[in-house]
Amino acid sequence: MQLFFQKDIKGDELILDPDESKHLTRVLRKPIGDLVYFTNGKGSLFTCRIEDNHPKKAVLQIVEEEFVPQDKHYIHLAIAPTKSPDRVEWMMEKITEIGVNEITFIRSENSEKDQINYERIYKKTVNACKQSFQTWLPEINAIRDFDEFIHDKNWINFQRFICFVDENIPLHLVQQAKPAHSYLVLVGPEGDFAPKEIQEAVAQGFTPCSLGKNRLRTETAGLAVVHSLQLINTISSQSPPT
């Protein structure tokens, strides 16, 4: 089963852009009458029938629409971008496949880079959603200064964590995060957060946490955060009631 993406879907007819039309009709060779699946990235799953398989302007009829609600938990990753754009894009692709709801890039004292190619990242997340058959596209926010971000009152109802390298942090993220909650997790640059940034984050209600004994690259840490939180909630949802 394959999933296609169209940002704006209205009415009962769908006219594809040239890229999706070519992929549908020339690469996949879908004939008229075939049923295919589309999402708008906002939770809706559309079952569509191909009415015209034109390679530049395919036309589909919407047969059915199903709304897929979001999970009870919500993962917001706030992370310093890496120096290499390829590593940021790789991370975005993988955390989208695993399941992340929101990403904010943060500018900290030791940040290596603060320029983000949002167009490329957006394409990566769309392709990852299609690959993993997800109907919710992650929200990608513009870069924000670390100090301003941690003082934002919007996070008051989130479980808040800050991950950094310190062998004295006894507890892993999976030991502290509670299932079915909203999470906000801070991950620093390759040079890690500055001590004063860690102190201020803790003062603002962020709990220090570990991602294991090994020193991780920034993009690996981001992946570990999302996977750990999804694992917590998967295990919780499968546990029999007591």
Query: Is the CB of residue 93 less than 8 Å from the CB of residue 122?
Result: no
Spell out the domains of the chain, with CATH numbers in brackets: 3-67 (2.40.240.20), 74-238 (3.40.1280.10)
pLDDT tens digit at each of 242 positions of the chain = 789 999 889 889 999 988 889 988 889 899 999 999 999 999 999 999 999 999 999 999 999 999 999 999 999 999 999 989 999 999 999 999 999 999 999 999 998 877 899 999 999 999 999 999 999 999 999 999 999 999 999 999 999 999 988 878 878 999 999 999 999 999 999 889 999 999 999 999 999 999 988 889 999 999 999 999 999 999 988 866 55
Reported pTM: 0.93
Residue 58 CB contacts under 8 Å (≥ 6 apart), including other chains: 15, 16, 20, 21, 24, 25, 50, 52
Question: CA-CA distance, 119 to 221, in Å (whole number)?
Answer: 23
Distance (Å) of CA 218 to CA 93, 112, 188: 15, 11, 7
